Amino acid sequence: MDSTVIDLCLKLYPWARFRSTKAAVKLHTVIQVDGSLPTFMTVTEGNVHDITVA
């Protein structure tokens, strides 16, 4: 499992508050071991840890 934080503008996306002055969402991805195709993807709030999603 790997995750990527996608930064957003806090003024345009106030629902995605990540820190006091930042907004973000996190894309969690599980990739097949024998290939490069994702088997599972989900988007969460920026402060959600990988273990919570796993």
Q: What is the spatial distance between Cα 13 and Cα 6, in angstroms, rounded to a whole number?
A: 12
Query: pTM of the entire structure?
Result: 0.79
Confidence class of residue 14 from pLDDT cuts 50, 70 and 90?
very high
Chain segment 23-32, per-residue pLDDT in tens: 999 999 999 8
pLDDT value of residue 25:
95
Does the pLDDT of residue 4 top 90, yes or no? Answer: yes
Q: In what order do the strands lie in the sheet with 38-45?
A: 2-8, 23-31, 38-45
